[in-house]
């Protein structure tokens, strides 16, 4: 793994996208998804005061920070090049993925092979780069910072404060398979209660394969009575590079934020957008209750601490 430090507020947003002719569409359908963007610049206000000094993406699930699980998912999905979008208060993320040769030497001298192997495995996951988002401008703005890095190829977006566990292939791999088969873009979908649809981007469409929808409607935070479905976009995307042209043209919404879903709604008028219903669970670590639940769940699955933790929980009698 190489870790490259970007001492700038953002990468240039210039770049030339190829025309949307038939040869380009066919070429994109056969392109492998090898790059990913992980937005991780947000303030984490739901976790104040701890988020003032510790990025929420660095909060631990047992003994690994949340963002390491996200990077591991990307690497297990065939991603070899990752750009993490950070801000001034998120340098701890950069430090985590930077080699610590002095620590490795000390572990080696003390014969602590397991800990040494875990560090070396971390540093060999992928090529990891960083760019600073100077001002919080929404998820769309964070993705737009990746335009130069991505170039003219499909790419994954994984939210840095959300861990997704699946039964089967990693979720990002499943989305990449959809895009490599069908072209266009793909998003992960999770069914939510009707009373909660107003919190999410909601996709409506027709099923083309079991669990796979071709999007026909994409609405950001609809009222329950007007929602096209109960299928919410769920923290993982694989996007066509044409999304950048739409992000440049999309007006900013409430709070001056550039919404990725608005640009995706415009893009789906030009090329396919698929939604994949996945068999798994989303752990939103930006939410305090979900953070505690995830730590208990992940702890119970660990052979070294799971039995004792289970006994402790039973002893609480709750």
Domains of the chain: which residue ranges? 3-12+27-302
Helix (H, G, I), strand (E, B) or coil at 22: helix
Residues 6 or more apart in contact with residue 176 via CB below 8 angstroms = 32, 33, 77, 78, 154, 156, 238
Backbone phi, then psi, for 274, in 5-degree steps? Answer: -110, 150
What is residue 199's predicted lDDT score, i.e. its pLDDT? 81
Work out whether strand 81-86 and strand 35-39 pair parallel, antiparallel, or are unpaired: parallel
Place of tokens 């939604």: 275
Taking a C-beta distance cutoff of 8 angstroms, is the pair 73, 170 a contact? yes
189 confidence band (pLDDT: 50, 70, 90): very high
pLDDT digits (tens, 9 = 90+) for 240-277: 999 999 999 999 887 788 989 899 999 999 999 999 99
What DSSP character marks residue 89? G
298 confidence band (pLDDT: 50, 70, 90): very high
Backbone phi, then psi, for 181, in 5-degree steps? Answer: -85, -45
pLDDT digits (tens, 9 = 90+) for 1-25: 444 433 333 333 333 333 333 344 4
pLDDT digits (tens, 9 = 90+) for 213-246: 999 988 888 899 989 999 999 899 999 999 999 9
Residues 6 or more apart in contact with residue 229 via CB below 8 angstroms = 202, 203, 204, 205
pLDDT digits (tens, 9 = 90+) for 40-58: 998 888 898 998 899 999 9
- pTM as predicted: 0.87
Backbone phi, then psi, for 217, in 5-degree steps? Answer: -140, 140
Count of Cβ atoms closer than 10 Å to residue 120 Cβ: 13
pLDDT digits (tens, 9 = 90+) for 132-162: 998 888 999 999 999 999 999 999 999 999 9
Spatial distance between the Cα atoms of 56 and 47, rounded to a whole number of angstroms: 7
Work out whether strand 64-65 and strand 81-86 pair parallel, antiparallel, or are unpaired: unpaired
What is residue 287's predicted lDDT score, i.e. its pLDDT? 85
In the chain, which residue ranges form alpha helices assigned H by DSSP? Answer: 22-30, 66-76, 91-96, 101-109, 113-123, 139-144, 147-150, 171-182, 243-249, 260-267, 288-300, 306-316
292 confidence band (pLDDT: 50, 70, 90): very high
292: left (phi over 0), alpha (psi -120 to 50) or beta: alpha
Domain 3-12+27-302 has CATH 1.10.540.10: no
What is residue 6's predicted lDDT score, i.e. its pLDDT? 39
């Amino acid at each position: 793994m190489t870790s490259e430090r970007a001492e700038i507020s953002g990468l240039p947003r210039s770049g030339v996208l190829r025309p949307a002719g038939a040869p380009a569409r066919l070429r994109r359908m056969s392109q492998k998804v090898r790059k990913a963007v992980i937005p991780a610049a947000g303030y984490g206000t739901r976790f104040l005061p701890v988020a003032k000094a510790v990025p929420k993406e660095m909060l631990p699930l047992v003994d690994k920070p949340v963002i390491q699980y996200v990077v591991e998912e990307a690497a297990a999905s065939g991603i070899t090049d990752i750009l993490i979008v950070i801000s001034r208060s998120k340098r701890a993320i950069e430090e985590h993925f930077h080699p610590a040769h002095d620590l490795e030497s000390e572990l080696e001298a003390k014969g602590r092979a397991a800990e040494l192997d875990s560090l070396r495995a971390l540093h060999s996951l992928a090529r990891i780069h960083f760019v600073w988002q100077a001002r919080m401008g929404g998820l769309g703005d964070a993705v737009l910072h990746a335009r130069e890095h991505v170039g003219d190829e499909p790419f994954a977006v994984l939210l840095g404060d959300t861990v997704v566990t699946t039964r089967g292939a990693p979720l990002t791999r499943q989305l990449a398979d959809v895009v490599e088969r069908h072209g266009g873009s793909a998003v992960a979908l999770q069914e939510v209660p009707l009373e909660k649809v107003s919190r999410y981007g909601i996709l409506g469409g027709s099923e083309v394969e079991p669990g796979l929808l071709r999007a026909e409607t994409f609405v950001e935070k609809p009222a329950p009575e007007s929602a096209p479905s109960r299928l919410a976009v769920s923290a993982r995307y694989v996007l066509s590079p044409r999304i950048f042209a739409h992000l440049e043209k999309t007006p900013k919404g409430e709070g001056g934020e550039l919404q990725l879903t608005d640009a995706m709604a415009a893009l789906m008028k030009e090329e396919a957008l698929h939604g994949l219903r996945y068999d798994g669970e989303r752990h939103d670590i930006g939410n305090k209750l979900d953070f505690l639940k995830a730590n208990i769940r992940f702890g119970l699955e660990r052979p070294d601490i799971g039995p004792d933790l289970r006994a402790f929980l039973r002893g609480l009698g709750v």
